[in-house]
Amino acid sequence: MATELTGRVVVPGDPDYPEARTNLNLYRSKFPGAIVFCQEENDVLNALRFTREKEIPFRVRSGRHSYQNFSILNKGIVIDLSEMNKISVNVLRKTAVIAGGADLGHVYNTLWEHGLAIPGGTEYSVGAAGLTLGGGIGYLSRIFGLTCDNLIGVRIVVPKGDRSAQIVEATRWKNRELFWACCGGGGGNFGIVTQFKFRAHPIGDVSIFRIEWDFEQLERAYDKWQQWAPFTDEKLTSSIELHAKEQNLILAQGQYVGIKDELKKLIKPLVKSTNPRKVQIASVPFNKAFDYFNYPAGNIPSYFKRSGSFVYQPIPERGIKIMKYFLENTPNEDAAIWQQALTGAVQKVRPTESAFYHRKALIAQEYNTTWKKEGEASENVQWVKALRKYLSPYTDGDYVNWPDLSIDDWPTAYYGENFERLRKVKTKVDPTNVFRFQQSIPPYKK
C-alpha cells in the first residue's frame, strides 16, 4: 500500500505557507511544494517513505538556520521536525533526551530547571539538530567540549532497500561508524535524527565579562586577544567581534565557570596590555548568561552571507592589517568578523576521533554580512568571498555548520582527512544517495 504523508502538512496557498517556507536566511529563499511538520517519529518515517516511493526530492529541517538554506528546496518536500521538541531529563544520571526538532533556547531553559547544561551555541532559535550534527561551538566549549562531544546516542531514520525507511540507533557501541559520523559530519547527510541523548553537566552561577575598544585599537586589541583567549584557563571561553569601522566597536566577551574574582585575574593580561574604553564583569546564574549571549536580532530572518575558517596559528601583523582593511571597506555597517577561542576540551579529542576534524585549531572564525534588500546581495557576497581569500594564507578550512557554496574544495575544508571515512559511512547507510544537497557527502559509486 502506498504511504501517505502524516503530520501537519502545509502547501502553497495555505495561510501558513509564507511563514512555513521561510528560513532564517532570506537570501535565495525557496518555494517548496509541501512542508510536513512531523509530530512524532512515525510521521518522519512516513515522510521519508513517501518521498522515496514517489521519487520526490526532499530536505530535512529543524531550526532553519542553514547559512546556505540546505534545509529547504524549490518544489520538493521539506521534512520539518520543529514541532517534535520534547525534552526529558534524568537528573540522577545527568542525561537529557532531546527530540530532533528542539531549539537551543528550549534546551538551555529546560536543562537549567534541573541545574544542568550541555555546551551549545548562542542564538536561541538555532536547532539542536543542525548544531550537534556539525559539531556545536559555544561559550562552554573550552570546559565541556563541542555539543557533539557530549552526545551519547541518536535515533535516526535512514533509507531501507529501494523505497523504504527504518529507524536505527547509533551509539559508541552500536552502529559505531554512523555515530562517529553524527559527531561533526554535518546535518542532512545520513538520515533524519529524531532523538538525541546527551550527557549534561551540573551548572549554577557563572561569571561573564565584556570588554570594548575603539576601532582604532583593533590591531593591538585583537593581537592581545588571540595571544590570550586560546591559552587561558579552559573554564573560560571567549569570543571577539570586530565590527565595521562605522560601528567603532571591538568587543571581547566570555563566560567563566567559576567566581568573579578569579575571572578578574584571568582577564587582567588582556585589559592591562590594551586600552579598553569599557570593562564589565558580573557573576550571574547560568540562565542569565545564556540570555545575555543570545542576540535577539540573530533569531529574526534577514538577508545574509556568512562564511568562516579556522585559525591554527596566531594571525601575523600582515593578516591583522588585512582584517582591518576589510572592516574599513565594508558594504554596510553590519559587516563583521567574529571569532571564538577553541582549544581546552575541544582539543582533547583527536581530529579523527569524531567527524569534527578541526580539533587543533586555536580559533573558529566567521565572516558576516547582513543587508536589507534583495538587490544588495552581490557586494555583500563579494566582500565575504574576498575577505576569505585574502585571509587564506593565515587560516585553514571551514566549519561545516558555516557552509559556503563558494568554497570549491569543501570536502577538505570541512572534513580534512575524515572525508573518506565519511564517504564509507555514507555508502553503507545511504548507498543510493537519497540524502543529497549541493555539498552533501557523496557515496562511492558501485
Ligand X SMILES: Cc1cc2nc3c(=O)[nH]c(=O)nc-3n(C[C@H](O)[C@H](O)[C@H](O)COP(=O)(O)OP(=O)(O)OC[C@H]3O[C@@H](n4cnc5c(N)ncnc54)[C@H](O)[C@@H]3O)c2cc1C
Q: In the structure grid, which three cell numbers stand for residue 244, read together?
A: 565595521
User: Does the footprint of ligand X cover residue 154 (CB under 6 A)?
Assistant: no
Question: Which of 41, 43, 123, 334 forms a contact with ligand X (CB under 6 A)?
Answer: 123
Distance CA 294, CA 410 (A): 29
Q: Please tell me the count of residues contacting ligand X according to CB under 6 A.
A: 34
Distance CA 107, CA 294 (A): 13
Asked if 356 and 397 touch (Cβ cutoff 8 Å), the reply is no
Helix, strand or coil, per DSSP, at residue 207: strand
User: Does the footprint of ligand X cover residue 308 (CB under 6 A)?
Assistant: no
Smaller CB distance to ligand X: residue 274 or 430?
A: 430
Distance CA 145, CA 133 (A): 14
Binding mask 9-28 for ligand X (x = CB under 6 A): ---------------x----
Distance CA 439, CA 432 (A): 16
Q: At which residue does the C-alpha cell 546581495 appear? A: 377
Question: Which of 78, 116, 143, 192 forms a contact with ligand X (CB under 6 A)?
Answer: 192
User: Does the footprint of ligand X cover residue 267 (CB under 6 A)?
Assistant: no
Helix, strand or coil, per DSSP, at residue 417: helix
Question: Which of 21, 49, 52, 64 forms a contact with ligand X (CB under 6 A)?
Answer: 64
Q: Provide, rounded to whole angstroms, the least separation between the CB of residue 32 and ligand X.
A: 13
User: Does the footprint of ligand X cover residue 136 (CB under 6 A)?
Assistant: yes
User: Does the footprint of ligand X cover residue 61 (CB under 6 A)?
Assistant: yes
Q: Provide, rounded to whole angstroms, the least separation between the CB of residue 88 and ligand X.
A: 17
Question: Which of 145, 159, 184, 188 forms a contact with ligand X (CB under 6 A)?
Answer: 188
363: exposed, middle or buried (C-beta count within 10 Å: 0-12, 13-18, 19+)? buried
Binding mask 86-115 for ligand X (x = CB under 6 A): --------------x---------------
Question: Which of 130, 159, 230, 331 forms a contact with ligand X (CB under 6 A)?
Answer: 130
User: Does the footprint of ligand X cover residue 184 (CB under 6 A)?
Assistant: no
User: Does the footprint of ligand X cover residue 401 (CB under 6 A)?
Assistant: yes
Distance CA 380, CA 159 (A): 39
For the CA atoms of the chain, what is the radius of gyration? 21
User: Does the footprint of ligand X cover residue 60 (CB under 6 A)?
Assistant: yes
User: Does the footprint of ligand X cover residue 62 (CB under 6 A)?
Assistant: yes
DSSP 218: H
SS3 of 11-45: CCCCCCHHHHHCCCECCCCCCCCEEEECCCHHHHH
Q: Which residues bind ligand X (CB under 6 A)?
A: 24, 59-67, 70-71, 81, 100, 121-123, 126-127, 129-131, 133-138, 187-188, 192-193, 298, 401
